[in-house]
């Protein structure tokens, strides 16, 4: 049972990158469950097709799966064009696609760094620009970027992601200022570790998950629903005066330096 009215996004169309799995999937489900028509975009039909079926079955609304790589502008432009032609408009873009792995800076290759920056930062820009050109620039709407808190301090084994998400935060603030006057709200959510996601499976292997959980002031990992509910609020009219903000949902972890525990993950067995 949601605390939000079930039709708050009626008549709206949302595109969620990374919407086939994890946090992106949770946000897509929540938007569809509150009246939006949704399209989900990622590289793999194996992720997208079951997710689209699940969203349609749970909400009674068709969900459009779009296979594309956010690193390739032509694929992004074609996908955005399909959203506008098949769903009729494009009000909300959620940039949740990302890549990550644990790797100490000394071991990180040039291409390893570049790949993550390309997916997270350049991908966010590619999708935002394509959506701006196809719809948002003339009709207004919203962009919600999914960032992280890793770059608030220095996080071991996360140089590449920290650099990429710092760029996502910069994109959020700059686009909020430049595109705000055109009726476009741009914000970001910075989740802490969210249980049962690929992110925590990769970042918090073995006993480190429990150690990080005990370092979180609210003493629990985040849940996908925490982020989906926050996304509903930020994208709703209740947040119409919030612009260019990066809103943290991490149970207080970023106040504690708790990611220092990832030094453990860098130790060679
Ligand atoms: C070191 C690695 C590596 C690893 C890949 N690379 N995995 N280096 N350790 N574990 C290097 C490769 O050697 C290569 O560099 C370069 O990265 C590109 O690798 P590819 O496999 O060719 O890349 P690609 O197929 O494009 O896949 C991208 C990927 C992959 C990021 C590497 O893991 C992926 O598709 N991830 C998507 C799902 C995901 O990561 N979800 C988690 C998001 S969580 P060389 O030099 O050899 O060519 C998140 C934040 C979580 O973002 C925060 C939690 C608190
Ligand atoms: P996830 O399920 O792996 O989500 C990442 C998604 O991005 C996948 O659906 C993947 O689908 C897609 N993707 C990856 N590369 C892509 C590309 N080049 N083009 C298009 N799509 C691509 O991981 P998650 O943990 O839920 O993370 C979701 C978001 O939350 C990410 O932005 C992540 O940085 C952020 N975040 C997560 C946590 C956490 O604790 N989980 C914490 C902070 C921030 P395909 O493989 O099908 O392409």
Q: What is the pLDDT of residues 73-128, one digit of tens each?
A: 999 999 999 999 999 999 999 999 999 999 999 999 999 999 999 999 999 999 99
Cβ–Cβ < 8 Å for 134, 73: no
Residue 116 CA to ligand 1 center (angstroms) comes to: 7
Q: What is the pLDDT of residues 232-258, one digit of tens each?
A: 999 999 999 999 999 999 999 999 988
**What is the secondary structure of 84-116 as a DSSP string?**
HHHHS---EEEE---------GGG--HHHHHHH
Higher pLDDT, 262 or 64: 64
Q: What is the pLDDT of residues 204-217, one digit of tens each?
A: 988 999 999 999 99
Q: Which of 99, 152, 157 to mutate to test the pocket of ligand 1 (most atoms within 8 A of CB)?
A: 99
Residue 260 — pLDDT band, cuts 50, 70, 90? confident
How far is the C-alpha of 111 from the C-alpha of 169, rounded, in Å?
22
Q: What is the pLDDT of residues 167-205, one digit of tens each?
A: 999 999 999 999 999 999 999 999 999 999 999 999 998
47's tokens: 């992720």
Q: What is the pLDDT of residues 16-52, one digit of tens each?
A: 999 999 999 999 999 999 999 999 999 999 999 999 9
Count, in order, helices (H) and strands (E) of the chain.
11, 7
What is the predicted pLDDT for the residue at 268? 62
Q: What dotted CATH number matches 13-265?
A: 3.40.50.720
Residue 162 CA to ligand 2 center (angstroms) comes to: 15
Q: Which atom of ligand 1 is nearest to the CA of 259?
A: 55
Residue pointed to by tokens 């220095």: 154
Q: Is the CB of 20 under 6 A from ligand 2?
A: yes
The residue extents of the domains of the chain are 13-265
Cβ–Cβ < 8 Å for 21, 42: yes
Residue 99 CA to ligand 1 center (angstroms) comes to: 6
197 three-class SS = coil
Cβ–Cβ < 8 Å for 23, 96: yes
Per-residue buried b or exposed e for 198-210, using 16+ beta carbons within 10 Å of the residue's own CB? ebbeebbeeebbe
């Amino acid at each position: 049972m949601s605390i939000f009215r079930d039709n708050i996004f009626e008549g709206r169309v949302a595109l969620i990158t990374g919407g086939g799995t994890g946090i992106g999937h949770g946000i897509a489900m929540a938007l569809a469950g509150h009246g939006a028509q949704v399209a989900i975009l990622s590289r793999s039909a194996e992720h997208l097709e079951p997710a689209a079926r699940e969203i349609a079955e749970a909400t009674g609304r068709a969900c459009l799966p779009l296979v594309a790589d956010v690193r390739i502008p032509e694929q992004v432009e074609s996908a955005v064009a399909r959203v506008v032609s098949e769903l009729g408009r494009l009000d909300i873009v959620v940039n949740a696609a990302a890549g990550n792995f644990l790797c100490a800076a000394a071991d990180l290759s040039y291409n390893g760094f570049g790949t993550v920056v390309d997916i997270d930062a350049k991908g966010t820009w590619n999708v935002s620009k394509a959506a701006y050109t196809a719809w948002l620039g003339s009709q207004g709407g919203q962009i919600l970027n999914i960032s992280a808190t890793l770059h608030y301090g220095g996080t071991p084994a996360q140089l590449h992601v920290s650099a990429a998400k710092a760029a996502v935060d910069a994109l959020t603030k700059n686009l909020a200022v430049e595109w705000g006057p055109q009726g476009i709200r741009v914000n970001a959510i910075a989740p802490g570790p969210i249980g049962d996601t690929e992110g925590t499976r990769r970042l918090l292997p073995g006993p480190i998950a429990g150690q990080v959980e005990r370092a979180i002031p609210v003493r629990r990992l985040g849940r996908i629903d925490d982020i989906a509910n926050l996304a509903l609020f930020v994208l709703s009219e209740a947040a119409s005066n919030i612009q260019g903000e990066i809103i943290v949902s991490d149970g207080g972890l970023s106040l504690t330096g708790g990611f220092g525990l990832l030094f453990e993950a860098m130790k060679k067995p």
